[in-house]
């Protein structure tokens, strides 16, 4: 477990955690789906020319699978999170809910032929109990709308389904071309909803908006994703997945420091219980 606390994995945790903070910074200046469209366009504007210049290989026979996985991992997940935060969900709570993705993946493991050990089921109970504590504390404090919770749960289900789908149907592909395919498909999927439901011309091109957009493109959609795949290549997948459980407490601390989001004893206890639970889930027996 020592490798989890080396600089590179911890830097990945920091980058991944800032995604929820960037949403809080960017949403006052643009509707959520419109912001995501610009984010997808930014990624494509950078990577598509590189793919062409470097002649990166395309995933032959797997383009549709890669695209569908991208719709779940990018369009579904990000749209759910950003719309939930737009409706008032605190960044720390949204991070905690979608941060349960590896637990939900473990729960669905039998569907892809994997066995869940008794200790992992105990971890599932701890993790879900932790989520319940934090959700209850946040709802009690701010009267959170059910639509925001539903959207965050949709994001959780979407990223979990996308992870399982990609693992089963297209586990290996060139990251450069695969990212172009996934973000291109996500752009096509989100565009009609943004056109119908949002005022796409209401963007305020402030320095704060441009900074949030640039960070989401370079640090998150390119940097964090590429770093995640690099960690998977050099480390055990279970250890890398467990890093995602450091995201909710990291985001909660960031949100407390930057936005004044409340951290009460029940929320802190819930986060601690969730972290303990996921350690039970992901830690391999000796």
Digit-coded pLDDT (tens) for 146-179? 899 999 999 999 988 888 888 778 878 888 999 9
CA distance linking residue 148 with residue 212, whole number of Å: 22
- If you average pLDDT over residues 79-106, what whole number do you get? 83
pLDDT in tens, 230-284: 676 665 444 566 677 777 777 777 888 887 777 778 878 888 887 787 777 666 6
The pLDDT of residue 198: 96
Are the beta carbons of 10 and 185 closer than 8 angstroms?
A: no
Pick the more confident residue, 274 or 88.
Answer: 88
The pLDDT of residue 160: 85
75, pLDDT greater than 90: yes
Which of the four pLDDT bands, split at 50, 70 and 90, describes residue 78?
very high
- 146 Cβ contact list (under 8 Å, min separation 6): none
Helix 63-70 and helix 146-169: axis angle, to 10°? 160
pTM score, whole prediction:
0.85
- Spell out the long-range contacts of 172-178 with Cβ–Cβ below 8 A and sequence spacing 24 or more: 173/59, 173/62, 173/66, 174/56, 174/57, 174/58, 174/59, 175/225, 175/226, 175/229, 176/47, 176/50, 176/51, 176/54, 176/56, 177/51, 177/56, 177/57, 177/58, 177/59, 178/59, 178/66, 178/70
């Amino acid at each position: 477990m020592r490798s989890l606390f080396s600089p590179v994995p911890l830097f990945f945790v920091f980058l991944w955690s800032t995604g929820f903070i960037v949403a809080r910074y960017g949403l006052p200046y643009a509707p959520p789906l419109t912001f995501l469209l610009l984010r997808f366009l930014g990624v494509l504007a950078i990577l598509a020319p590189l793919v062409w210049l470097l002649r990166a290989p395309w995933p032959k026979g797997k383009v549709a699978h890669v695209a569908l996985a991208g719709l779940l991992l990018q369009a579904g997940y990000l749209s759910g999170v950003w719309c939930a935060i737009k409706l008032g969900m605190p960044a720390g709570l949204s991070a905690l809910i979608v941060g349960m993705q590896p637990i939900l993946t473990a729960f669905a493991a039998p569907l892809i032929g994997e066995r869940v050990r008794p200790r992992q089921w105990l971890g599932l109970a701890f993790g879900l109990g932790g989520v319940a504590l934090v959700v209850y504390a946040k709802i009690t404090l701010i009267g959170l709308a059910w639509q925001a919770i539903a959207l965050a749960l949709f994001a959780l289900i979407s990223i979990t389904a996308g992870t399982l789908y990609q693992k089963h149907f297209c586990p290996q592909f060139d990251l450069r071309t695969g990212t172009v395919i996934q973000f291109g498909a996500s752009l096509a999927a989100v565009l009609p909803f943004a056109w119908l439901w949002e005022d796409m011309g209401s963007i305020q091109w402030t320095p704060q908006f441009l900074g949030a957009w640039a960070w989401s493109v370079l640090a998150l959609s390119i940097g964090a994703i590429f770093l995640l795949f690099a960690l998977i290549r050099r480390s055990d997948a279970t250890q890398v997945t467990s890093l995602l459980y450091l995201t909710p407490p990291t985001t909660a601390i960031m949100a407390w420091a930057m936005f004044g989001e409340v951290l009460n004893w029940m929320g802190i206890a819930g986060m601690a219980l969730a972290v303990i639970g996921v350690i039970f889930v992901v830690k391999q027996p000796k």
